[in-house]
Amino acid sequence: MADDSHVEIIMEKYLQSRNLNLKTATMRWKGTGISPRFMDQKVTPDVLRTIARCIVDYGQMHPGESFGTKDIWDVAKLETVVTRVFTKPSAKEPAAHNEYDKFVSQPIKTLAYAGLLGEEKCGAAIRYTVEQEDILRFIAGDEFNAYDFLLEYLKETLRQSGMMGYFEKYHNSGHTEIDFRALRRAFIEDLLSYTNIRNEVEIRRIFPKVLNVLAVEWHVPGATKGHVSKSPMTYISLNYNSINFRDKGKDKTETRQQAALDMPKDSESQVGTSLVAKQMDAVKKRHFPCSEVKDKFAIDKATQVHHIFPRHLFPQLVAERENLILLTPQQHYTCAHPDNKTQQIDPQYQIDCLLSKLDNVEESIALGDGFYDLARFVHVLNVGYAANLDEHADAESIREFLRRQRRKVGAPDLA
C-alpha cells in the first residue's frame, strides 16, 4: 500500500481523468438499469470513511467477490461503529432497516459515481466491485482522508459539469442570505435540468452536503438549517454525528464555558480521535524541535502539543491547528498547566501562546503554504473567548485584541 501523500496525488490525477460530468451522466448510464447519484444526504466524511472501511473488510473476508449493500450491513465493524459511535439502533432491528439502507447505500452510490466501485445490475439487485483499491483504502484510513477525497471529488465534478463558477462567485461574495439563495437556486436548476433527480426538496437536502465541504476549505459561511450560517463552517459540522457544540443543550442562562463543563467527556469522539492525533502530529512535525513560545523555558526540546483552549472545555476546537501549539515539557506542565494540573490553565500564559501562534499563522500566510489560516485563528478566538471578532480581521487587530485580553487578566503590557 502506497503512503497517503502518494495516494493523494494518484487520487487527484484519477479524478481528473474520470468523466464526472453531471450533465451527461444520465446518458452514460442509459441502458444499465442503474440510476447514478453523485452525492446524497448521508455522504459525510465520517460515514464515508466507515462504509469504505467496511468494504475493505468485506474484501479481505471475501477476496475477489462482488457485494451488495446488504453484505456491507453484515460486516461486524458496521454494527459496532453505528451503535457505539453514531448511537443508532442495531441493524438487526426491523425498524432500523430503512435508515441502514440509506446509511450504507448512499455512500456506496457516491463511490460508484466516482468510479472507485464498479456497479452492475443483477436481477433486481445491484452488485459492486472494487475498482480503485488504493484510493478506497486511503478513504478508509481516517475521516480527514475521507474529507480530502470529498473535497477533490466535488471540485472536479462541479468543474466538469460547468457548475464551479457560481460556487466560486459565492466564495468571493459577501456571503449574505441573498448570495446563498442565488447559489442554491442555480444548483437546484442545474440538477433538475440535467440529472435524474426530479424532486426539488431532495436537491435542497443534497445542497448543504456539497457547499459545506467547499466552505470548510474556503473558511466561509455555508448552509445551516436552510440558511447561510452566521460564521465560517468548521470540519466538525460536516460530520453525520455533528453537534453544534457552542449552543446545543446549553441553558440560555449559561455561558458557553459553563455549558462546556457539563458536556459529556466523550464528546471529542464526535470529531474522531484519529483526526485530532493527525492534526497534533502535523503541528509537531512543523515546529519540532523548537518551542513556538520563545521564553526562558524554551531551551529544551519541544515535545508537547498543547491545546491552547483546553480540549475538555472546547471540544469543538480539538482538531483546529490554530488551537494547537508545540511546547517544551517545562512550558507545558509548569506554565500552561500550573503545578502539572492539566485541568487548569494559566490565563496569562494562554494569551502568550495565542500571540506566539499568531506569529506562526502570519509566517504561514507569508509562505503561502496553507498550513495555518487567519480566519480559522479568528474562529478559535471567537469560540474560546465568546468574542465577536470580524472573520476578516487583520493580524494587527487580532494582536491588539489579545493585548486587551492580557490586560484583563492583570498581566503587564508587553514591551
- Poorest-confidence range of 85-94, 146-155, 257-266, 270-279? 257-266
Give the pLDDT of residue 91: 64
The mean per-residue pLDDT over the stretch 71-78 comes to: 83
Examine the pLDDT at 88 and tell me if it is beyond 80. Answer: no
Examine the pLDDT at 40 and tell me if it is beyond 80. Answer: yes
Task: State the cell numbers at 143.
Answer: 475521516
Q: Could you give phi then psi for residue 121, rounded to 5 degrees? A: -80, 125
Using a pLDDT cut of 70, give the percent of the chain over it.
Answer: 86
pTM of the model: 0.64
Q: How far is CA 353 from CA 52, 283, 286, 298, 360, in A?
A: 39, 14, 16, 12, 11
Using a pLDDT cut of 90, give the percent of the chain over it.
Answer: 58
Give the pLDDT of residue 263: 42
Give the pLDDT of residue 187: 97
Examine the pLDDT at 312 and tell me if it is beyond 70. Answer: yes
The mean per-residue pLDDT over the stretch 208-223 comes to: 94
pLDDT tens digits for 98-137?
667 888 999 999 999 999 999 999 988 999 999 999 999 9
Q: Out of 5-19, 75-89, 352-366, 376-390, give the one with best mean pLDDT.
A: 352-366
- Complete DSSP assignment for 171-221: HTS---HHHHHHHHHHHHHHHHHHSS---HHHHHHHHHHHHHHHHHHHT-E
Examine the pLDDT at 270 and tell me if it is beyond 70. Answer: no
77 falls in which pLDDT band (50, 70, 90)? confident
Task: State the cell numbers at 211.
Answer: 457547499
Give the pLDDT of residue 85: 64
Q: Helix or strand or coil: residue 44?
A: coil
The residue among 230 and 111 whose pLDDT is bigger is 111
403 falls in which pLDDT band (50, 70, 90)? very high
Judging by beta carbons within 10 Å of its beta carbon (0-12, 13-18, 19+), is residue 11 exposed, middle or buried?
buried
pLDDT tens digits for 234-255?
887 888 865 433 334 443 334 3
Task: State the cell numbers at 21.
Answer: 460530468
Examine the pLDDT at 301 and tell me if it is beyond 90. Answer: yes
Task: Give me the half-sphere count of Cα atoms (radius 13 Å) on the Cβ side of residue 8.
Answer: 12
Q: Residue 309 in contact with residue 267, Cβ under 8 Å?
A: no
Q: How far is CA 167 from CA 25, 68, 258, 305, 364, in A?
A: 20, 35, 38, 36, 26
Closest CA to 155 of 146, 144, 147, 164: 164
What are the residue boundaries of the structural domains of the chain, listed by start? 4-143, 256-408
Q: How far apart are CA 215 and CA 282, in angstroms?
A: 22
pLDDT tens digits for 140-182?
988 889 999 999 999 999 999 999 999 999 999 999 999 999 9
Examine the pLDDT at 272 and tell me if it is beyond 70. Answer: no
Task: State the cell numbers at 212.
Answer: 459545506
Closest CA to 328 of 306, 312, 352, 346: 306
Omega of the bond prior to 232 within 30 degrees of 0, cis? Answer: no
Q: What value, to the nearest 5°, has the Cα angle with vertex 231 and ends 230 and 232?
A: 140
Q: What value, to the nearest 5°, has the Cα angle with vertex 239 and ends 254 and 388?
A: 40
Q: Could you give phi then psi for residue 352, rounded to 5 degrees? A: -60, -40
